[in-house]
Each structure stands twice: as structure tokens, then as C-alpha cells.
Amino acid sequence: MLTHKELKARALEREDVKDEYDRLNEEFHFLDQFLKARAAAGVTQAEIAERIGTTQSAVARLESGRGKHSPSIATLEKYAHALGCRLELRLVTDKHPEK
């Protein structure tokens, strides 16, 4: 039986899988920053929801990245401000631009 690490390594040998993994990696890294900031602030999803005027389930969807729609920049800013943070967006040159 393959371990998770071995299965991942085997899957990433396929170029199509690696491309999708790399594309999603940025999104998951971004979401992970939100989770770490909330944990560092010692704030629950319910508390964030109350601070930004939404529901706990909406915060859970935002943090999971599985919502039907991507959150707006305004929503991400509200979330960040509720934690005493600010949202910083930047454009970074892609080393492998799509053609």
C-alpha cells in the first residue's frame, strides 16, 4: 500500500496533475494565511462572522475555499480587519506564463 507521500509523488509525475497542483497551491497558501491569522488572534469563526456581519457558515466556506463563488476583495478586507490585519494584494511576475 502506498503512503500519502508516495501517492502524491507519483501523481505529481504527471504534467497535468502537477500543473493543477501548482495552480491550486497558491490558493491554498492564501487560505492558510487566513487560518493562521485567525488562530494567532484566538478568534473563532463565529466571532469573525459577528465582526464582519455574516454567518459562521459563510466564514467556514470562505476558509475552505469550496464556496460557489470567490470572495470579493471587500469581504477579504473585512475578514483581515476583523483580525487586526490588512489585506495586501500584489502582482508577481509569473515565471511560466500561459501562452
| Domain locations in the chain as residue ranges | 4-82
pLDDT tens-digit series, residues 3-17: 988 998 999 999 999
**Radius of gyration of the chain measured on its C-alpha atoms:** 17
Selected residue with higher pLDDT from 38 and 27: 38
Residues 6+ apart with CB under 8 A from 79: 34, 48, 52, 59, 62, 71
pLDDT tens-digit series, residues 30-89: 888 999 999 999 999 999 999 999 999 999 998 887 767 788 899 999 999 999 999 998
76 in Cβ contact with 86 (< 8 Å): no
24 in Cβ contact with 64 (< 8 Å): no
**pTM attached to this predicted model:** 0.70
CATH-assigned architecture of domain 4-82: Orthogonal Bundle (1.10)
Report the pLDDT value the prediction gives residue 67, as an integer from 0 to 100: 66
Report the pLDDT value the prediction gives residue 43, as an integer from 0 to 100: 95
